[in-house]
């Protein structure tokens, strides 16, 4: 059972000057990092003497309360005591968001917004599949059974922006009801019709609204809530408390909704028109290249809502007869299904297996949102594999000039749309594309490692039970030899430019001034901690030493920039295996010390920690001895 840190959290909040004195709170691998309105209100002497607190450090404009390895639990307790519920005015740690390139950050953001709704999203997709089966068996679209079940399944997807408004509000720390008001404005009934005739202005500025409205879209509501959160945070600072409860949302909605209509709508329309023109140009150049490129990019276009540049063209084409514009996109859902099947077989996480089943069923019927946002996109590479599959089958369909006869269903129920009474090969080629996508999705995913989405195999209560059953007593040994994880000059711990490490409060060991940006495992063991920003790694050796490797000082402020982790918590590693890489020159360019402590933190299990007498070490050289 996890220890209750409520009392400690209450003491910390009270003695940093109370929750009203807290401007910002984040945490790194060992300490709570407060930004306070007035540091003189904090009782430093009390906090330093308080059990459960190692020490207090004031540096870089932060009031740092050093806790130790259990800082995440104390951090959570402090948030609760201070009244933070995820959308409060205090900025919580955003280490769960990828700090890589912009595309990685976008993927992490979008998949994170979808995580809370994945179960319902999958269920709605299965209902849409059930409706498709009923239609295939002759149920009329005017039948009450069809109407009710179709509404139950399709309603969630139609009004997806409203659900995303809630999850985005939590992510951007915005009031969820204000965010919902923004969402309702984007999907307001008949709003698209009102603007469709053109010539509508707002204070003299033209309003350009998508013909399709913002129903079923993802990106517009995320952008709108993000912009709205900026206004909300501003107005909370300048509006008196006595009228905040209604004046803040009033001004936030008043400004954000028109801005969404005037900016997001035109940008989306313009981008969609560019997409339509781009692919029309490619088709004129080479139909095969068109199929290849469209098949590769279709899922990405749908993610950004840019596919509307092609969908209307495809519909208009089909009104005149068989068409080719959308053919390359129809069978891609089977690549997702194939990738999911592979992930189901190979993933060691029970939650991933559970989510894969309904997502797999939905994908067979053309509903790929649960698969994409819940599993393949967060895993990155499986999503890329499905794009490659889509490219190959898109080129295949274009090469044989396969035409869709009518606009029909999705997934398996798109098959009748390719029945050409005059040419049976049209259907045969489409069936080949379905099988090829499924096989390619499965086979291509076979060549990649299936990453963890929920921290490791058998997470949750089942994992705790299994872990309890598998715990083995540590070996009795006289000493634990720890090799250097980094190349560089040896620096005695007391000379580290950080009071906490220099005092030995976090443990005993030594520091290294690195000459290379690679960190390797100093012994065989298991990774116990990979800090989200990538600047610190913890491990427990197979003989019981708990080691912390902390790259540089205050490098948590870089928010992951220049750091690339190669392992995950729970992963077994061997001595010499790469753990992380970092941009040494980049850290120095930021003006931060690069000297990196390597310490043994569980000193109660050892009598002493001896350090090397060498002035320079290479990775794998002797560094420490933990003596029992």
DSSP assigned state of 2: P
pLDDT digits (tens, 9 = 90+) for 515-524: 999 999 999 9
Q: Find the DSSP H helices in 16-117.
A: 44-49, 71-81, 102-114
pTM over the 0.75 mark: no
pLDDT digits (tens, 9 = 90+) for 206-233: 777 776 678 877 888 888 999 999 999 9
Q: Which residues contact 12 (CB under 8 A, 6 or more apart)?
A: 32, 47, 53, 65, 74, 78
Distances (CA, A) of 351 to 118, 143, 164, 446, 512: 11, 37, 22, 20, 40
Confidence class for position 103, pLDDT limits 50, 70, 90: low
What is the helix (H) or strand (E) element at residue 512, kind and residue range? strand 508-514
Distances (CA, A) of 568 to 307, 506, 573: 36, 23, 10
CA dihedral 82→83→89→95, nearest 10 degrees, is: 80
Distances (CA, A) of 203 to 187, 258, 619: 22, 10, 66
Distances (CA, A) of 91 to 21, 22, 23, 202: 14, 10, 8, 35
> For position 207, what pLDDT does the model report?
78
Confidence class for position 454, pLDDT limits 50, 70, 90: low
Beta-bridged to residue 513, according to DSSP, are: 489
User: Quick check: 167 pLDDT over 70?
Assistant: yes
Query: What percent of the chain is predicted at pLDDT more than 90?
Result: 26
pLDDT digits (tens, 9 = 90+) for 402-434: 998 877 778 888 888 898 888 889 999 999 999
What is the helix (H) or strand (E) element at residue 232, kind and residue range? helix 219-238
User: Quick check: 100 pLDDT over 80?
Assistant: no
Rounded CA-CA distance 175/250 in Å is: 12
> For position 493, what pLDDT does the model report?
87
pLDDT digits (tens, 9 = 90+) for 63-93: 888 887 677 788 888 888 887 543 333 333 3
Beta-bridged to residue 547, according to DSSP, are: 539, 600
Q: Which domains does the chain have, with CATH numbers?
A: 6-81 (3.30.1360.60), 106-446 (no CATH), 479-627 (2.70.70.10)
Confidence class for position 620, pLDDT limits 50, 70, 90: confident
Query: What percent of the chain is predicted at pLDDT more than 70?
Result: 89
Query: What SS3 state is found at 610?
Result: strand
Confidence class for position 125, pLDDT limits 50, 70, 90: confident
Q: Are strands 536-541 and 525-530 parallel, antiparallel or unpaired?
A: antiparallel
Active site residues: 28
Q: Which residue has the higher pLDDT, 476 or 171?
A: 171
pLDDT digits (tens, 9 = 90+) for 271-286: 877 888 898 899 889 9
> For position 293, what pLDDT does the model report?
94
pLDDT digits (tens, 9 = 90+) for 302-330: 777 677 678 778 877 877 888 888 899 99
């Amino acid at each position: 059972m996890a220890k209750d840190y409520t009392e400690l959290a209450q003491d910390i909040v009270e003695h940093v000057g109370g929750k009203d004195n807290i401007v910002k709170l984040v945490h790194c691998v060992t300490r709570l990092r407060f930004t306070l309105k007035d540091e003189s209100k904090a009782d430093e002497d009390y906090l330093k003497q308080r059990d459960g607190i190692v020490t207090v450090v004031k540096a870089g404009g932060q009031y740092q309360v050093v806790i130790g390895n259990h800082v995440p639990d104390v951090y959570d307790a402090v948030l609760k005591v201070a009244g933070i519920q995820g959308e409060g005015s205090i900025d919580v740690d955003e280490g769960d968001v990828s700090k890589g390139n912009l595309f990685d950050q976008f993927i992490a953001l979008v998949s994170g917004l979808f995580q809370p709704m994945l179960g319902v999203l999958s269920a709605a997709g299965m209902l849409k599949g059930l409706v498709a089966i009923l239609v295939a068996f002759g149920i009329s679209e005017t039948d009450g059974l069809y109407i009710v079940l179709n509404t139950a399944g399709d309603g969630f997807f139609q009004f997806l922006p409203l659900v995303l408004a809630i999850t985005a509000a939590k992510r951007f720390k915005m009031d969820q009801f204000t965010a919902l008001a923004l969402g309702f404005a984007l999907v307001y009934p008949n709003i698209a019709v009102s603007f469709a005739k053109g010539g509508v202005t707002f204070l003299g500025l033209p309003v350009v609204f998508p013909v399709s409205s913002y129903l079923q879209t993802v990106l517009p509501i995320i952008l709108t809530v993000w912009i709205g959160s900026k206004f909300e945070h501003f107005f909370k600072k300048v509006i008196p408390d006595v009228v905040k409860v209604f004046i803040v949302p009033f001004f936030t909605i008043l400004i954000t909704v028109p801005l969404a209509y005037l900016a997001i709508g035109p940008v989306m329309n313009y981008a969609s028109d560019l997409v339509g023109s781009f692919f029309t140009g490619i088709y004129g150049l080479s139909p095969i290249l068109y199929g290849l490129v469209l098949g590769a990019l279709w899922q990405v276009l749908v993610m950004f809502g840019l596919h509307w540049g092609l969908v209307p063209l495809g519909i208009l084409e089909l009104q005149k007869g068989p068409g080719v514009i959308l053919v390359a996109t129809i069978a891609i859902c089977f690549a997702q299904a194939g990738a999911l099947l592979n992930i189901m077989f190979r993933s060691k996480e029970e939650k991933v297996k559970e989510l894969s089943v309904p997502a797999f069923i939905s994908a067979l019927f053309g509903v790929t949102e649960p698969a994409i946002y819940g599993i393949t996109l967060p895993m990155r590479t499986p999503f890329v594999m499905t794009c490659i599959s889509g490219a190959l089958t898109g080129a295949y369909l274009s090469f044989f000039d396969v035409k869709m006869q009518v606009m029909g269903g999705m997934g398996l129920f798109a098959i009748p749309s390719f029945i050409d009474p005059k040419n049976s090969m049209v259907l045969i080629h489409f069936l080949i594309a379905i099988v090829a996508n499924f096989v390619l999705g499965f086979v291509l995913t076979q060549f990649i490692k299936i990453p963890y989405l929920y921290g490791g195999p058998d997470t949750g209560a089942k994992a705790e039970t299994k872990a309890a059953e598998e715990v083995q007593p540590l070996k009795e040994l006289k000493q634990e030899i720890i090799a250097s994880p980094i190349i560089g000059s040896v620096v005695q711990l007391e000379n580290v430019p950080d009071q906490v490490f220099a005092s030995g409060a976090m443990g005993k060991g030594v520091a290294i001034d690195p000459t290379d940006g690679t960190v390797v495992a100093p012994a065989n063991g298991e990774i116990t901690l990979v800090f989200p920003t990538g600047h610190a790694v913890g491990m427990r050796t197979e003989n019981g030493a708990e080691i912390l490797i902390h790259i540089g000082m205050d490098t948590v402020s870089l928010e992951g920039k220049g750091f690339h982790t190669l392992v995950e918590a729970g992963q077994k590693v061997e001595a010499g295996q790469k753990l992380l890489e970092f941009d040494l020159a980049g850290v120095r360019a930021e003006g931060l010390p690069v000297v990196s402590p390597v310490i043994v933190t569980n000193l109660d299990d050892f009598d002493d920690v001896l350090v090397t007498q060498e002035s320079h070490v290479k990775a794998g050289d002797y560094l420490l001895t933990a003596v029992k």
